[in-house]
């Protein structure tokens, strides 16, 4: 069987029946940009918890582990070029996915793993402590790219991150080669920023802030950034396009008065965003330490 042109992405996260969060957002974005998706639900819910209480459908950990073993030994693993993870339903799921990534890397050392460590926000952790520690200990060390929000990075690093300088120091200390931190400290009035740090570059992508936004923005940004990297774009271009797409879809969703991202209506914003994003080059902390 011939490989697909772009290669496939295994996307592992929560699945909702209504809405555009978790794997619903990630898979749609990846497929819109031409990447076949192996979609793996960690839990299934009628809707995002932010929309109100609903039933959570959970897989027994042993069954989930067997499914990950099936994926690791599937005859089509040669087509897999990347793995993307988000929300996990248990620490055991995290460990099973870590084994999957290691097995896939044995077959393809160039496999890209993008970890969105979905565990909390400014209100604190919303996953069990055991699950959060498993993500930090098992998955972050494997990540080619990590996309935490500022509060998740603060928890993982054990530091208060009130400035972009402290965010960059925490990102460097944590270890993934490329780190994209959402909810960074904006430099423009009334803005919000995404801060990207690699061994070479420190970049800040900003746009105006919008209040009371729908859920799913982080899921969407992580998938879009990964897709652009897989397309061979520079980190700066990938950051600019991913941020522009998310902002454009958010603005259009809010204009319609919708409480879920309108991805199906705004697919063109995923592929060819027109929104303006302010890009800034920051002083890389590594250069400061060399002085």
* Residue given tokens 């060399």 in the structure block: 290
pTM: 0.94
Q: For residue 97, which of 71, 59, 124, 129 has the smallest C-alpha distance?
A: 71
pLDDT at residue 291 in the model: 44
User: Which DSSP state fits 119?
Assistant: -
CA distance 252 to 272: 14
The pLDDT assigned to 279 comes to: 96
Q: Considering all CA atoms of the chain, what is the largest pairwise distance in Å, rounded to the nearest integer? A: 56
How does strand 8-16 pair with strand 37-45? parallel
Domain definitions of the chain by residue range = 8-290
Q: Which helix (H) or strand (E) holds 206?
A: strand 202-208
pLDDT at residue 1, as a whole number: 35
pLDDT at 5: 63
**Cα 270 from Cα 273, distance rounded (Å):** 6
CATH code of the domain occupying 8-290: 3.40.1190.20
pLDDT, one tens digit for every residue, the chain (291 residues): 334 468 999 999 999 999 899 999 999 999 999 999 999 999 999 998 888 888 999 999 999 999 999 999 999 999 999 999 999 999 999 999 999 999 999 999 999 999 999 999 988 899 999 999 999 999 999 999 999 999 999 999 999 899 999 999 999 999 899 999 999 999 999 999 999 999 889 999 999 888 888 888 999 999 999 999 999 999 999 999 999 999 999 999 999 999 888 899 999 999 999 999 999 999 988 765 544
Residue 4 is predicted with a pLDDT of 41
């Amino acid at each position: 069987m011939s490989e697909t042109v772009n290669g496939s992405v295994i996307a592992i996260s929560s699945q909702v029946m209504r809405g555009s969060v978790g794997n619903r957002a990630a898979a749609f974005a990846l497929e819109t940009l031409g990447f076949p998706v192996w979609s793996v639900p960690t839990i299934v819910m009628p809707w995002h918890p932010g929309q109100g209480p609903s039933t959570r459908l959970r897989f027994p950990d042993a069954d989930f582990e067997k499914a990950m073993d099936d994926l690791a030994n599937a005859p089509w693993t040669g087509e897999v070029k990347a793995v993307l993870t988000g929300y996990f339903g248990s620490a055991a799921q995290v460990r099973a996915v870590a084994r999957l990534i290691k097995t896939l890397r044995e077959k393809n050392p160039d496999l890209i793993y993008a970890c969105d460590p979905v565990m909390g926000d400014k209100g604190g952790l919303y996953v069990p402590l055991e699950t959060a520690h498993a993500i930090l200990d098992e998955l972050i060390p494997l990540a080619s790219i990590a996309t935490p929000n500022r509060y998740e990075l603060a928890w993982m690093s054990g530091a208060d991150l009130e400035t972009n300088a402290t965010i960059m120091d925490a990102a460097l200390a944590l270890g993934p080669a490329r780190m994209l931190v959402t909810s960074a400290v904006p430099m423009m009035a009334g803005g919000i920023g995404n801060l990207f740090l690699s061994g070479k570059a420190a970049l800040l992508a900003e746009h105006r802030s919008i209040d009371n936004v729908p859920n799913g923005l982080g899921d969407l940004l992580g998938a879009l950034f990964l897709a652009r990297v897989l397309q061979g774009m520079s980190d700066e271009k990938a950051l600019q396009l991913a941020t522009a797409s998310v902002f454009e879809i958010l603005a259009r969703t809010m204009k319609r008065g919708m409480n879920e991202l309108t991805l199906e209506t705004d697919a063109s914003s995923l592929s060819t965003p027109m929104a303006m994003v302010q890009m800034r080059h920051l002083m890389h902390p590594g250069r400061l330490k060399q002085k």
